[in-house]
């Protein structure tokens, strides 16, 4: 007998979806997304435990590795690439693998997700080490490509975190920290780019953002370790420095220009009334924590 996954089971809520007008159709689709939030809220303790387990490896210089296929793979890539501009996380320490390779970001590579051996090879190609953390992402919870990556990661001693939208599945069983995002049946049957994907995006956001906060890349609730790599981000760096240090725009710009637009350094400079090199030394002595650097007498 065919075992149908929850995410593949036809929804009973809107069996005549194709008869709806646009207003009712959009309303139904938006309303169904609420389940994604509920699933992530239920998984919050598991996400927090994964953050705590990953933290010492990141402090020691480990990498975040991601593996997924289709929507799940693309969400892993998205999370990885956004860590650099948002938190100045080194790009080489956030490595995302997607079944079918880079081309699969833009064009579906059919069948790539079914290749468990390729998942293992792709993970081995980035030379995983015991200090690394792998996030294996699969809506079904049984994607062979992800299982291959998890097997290679385990063999290398990596911490394995699995995200899946179906309970009791192989990806969760193969993980040190399984994160179940139980979103149930999709409104459009089997289309896990809908609320299953939404839940994955929220969970990845929560995990990586919480990890970056714990790594002292946030002061209060301000992202003070961003990279000011374009005009918009330069303006944002100025605004963040003004808010964190309580200074005017001219003072913020002057401090930022003296420290290569490092918001962290500028804030310590302004609040401690010290030059850039001394502010930087204070930050380095306190693992990059603005709060601890400011507390030093």
Catalytic residues: 82, 113
Strand locations in the chain (E):
64-68, 94-98, 133-138, 159-164, 177-180
Long-range contacts of 231-237 (CB under 8 A, 24+ apart): 233/85, 234/261, 237/261, 237/263, 237/266
**Residues, the chain, total?**
297
Q: How far apart are CA 207 and CA 46, in angstroms?
A: 10
How far apart are alpha carbons 236 and 228 in whole angstroms?
8
Q: Tell me the pairing of strands 177-180 and 94-98.
A: unpaired
Dihedral of the alpha carbons of 47, 50, 51, 56, in degrees to the nearest 10: 180
Distances (CA, A) of 235 to 214, 242, 265: 25, 11, 16
Q: What share of the chain is helix, strand, coil (3-state, %, to 5)?
A: 55, 10, 35
| Residue 167 CB coordination number (10 Å) | 12
Classify the phi-psi angles of 260: left when phi > 0, otherwise alpha if psi is within -120 to 50, otherwise beta.
left
Tokens at residue 7, please?
Answer: 């995410």
Report the alpha-carbon distance of residue 206 to residue 44 in Å, rounded: 9
* 88 within 8 A of 77, measured Cβ to Cβ: no
Q: Give the residues across from 97 on adjacent strands.
A: 67
């Amino acid at each position: 007998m065919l075992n149908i996954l929850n995410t593949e089971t036809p929804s009973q809520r809107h069996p005549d979806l194709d008869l709806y007008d646009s207003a009712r159709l959009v309303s139904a689709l938006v309303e169904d997304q609420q389940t994604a939030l509920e699933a992530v809220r239920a998984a919050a303790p598991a996400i927090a435990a994964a953050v705590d387990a990953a933290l010492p490896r990141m402090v020691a210089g480990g990498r975040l590795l991601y593996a997924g296929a289709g929507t799940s793979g693309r969400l892993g890539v998205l999370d990885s690439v956004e860590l650099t501009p948002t938190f100045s996380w080194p790009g080489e320490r956030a490595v995302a693998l997607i079944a079918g390779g880079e081309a699969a970001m833009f064009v579906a590579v059919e069948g790539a997700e079914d290749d468990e051996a390729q998942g293992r090879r792709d993970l081995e190609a980035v030379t995983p080490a015991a200090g690394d953390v792998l996030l294996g992402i699969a809506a079904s919870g049984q994607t062979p490509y992800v299982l291959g990556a998890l097997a290679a990661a385990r063999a290398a001693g990596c911490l394995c975190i699995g995200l899946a939208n179906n309970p009791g599945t192989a990806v969760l069983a193969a993980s040190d920290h399984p994160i179940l995002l139980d979103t149930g049946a999709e409104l459009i049957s089997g289309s896990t780019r809908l609320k299953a994907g939404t839940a994955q995006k929220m969970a990845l956001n929560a995990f990586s953002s919480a990890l970056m906060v714990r790594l002292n890349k946030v002061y209060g609730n301000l992202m003070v370790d961003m990279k000011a790599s374009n005009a918009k981000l330069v303006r944002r760096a100025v605004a963040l420095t003004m808010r964190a240090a309580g200074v005017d725009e001219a003072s913020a710009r002057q401090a930022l220009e003296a420290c290569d637009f490092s918001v962290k350094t500028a804030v310590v400079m302004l609040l401690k009334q010290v030059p850039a090199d001394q502010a930087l030394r204070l930050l380095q002595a306190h693992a990059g924590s603005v709060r601890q650097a400011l507390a030093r007498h």
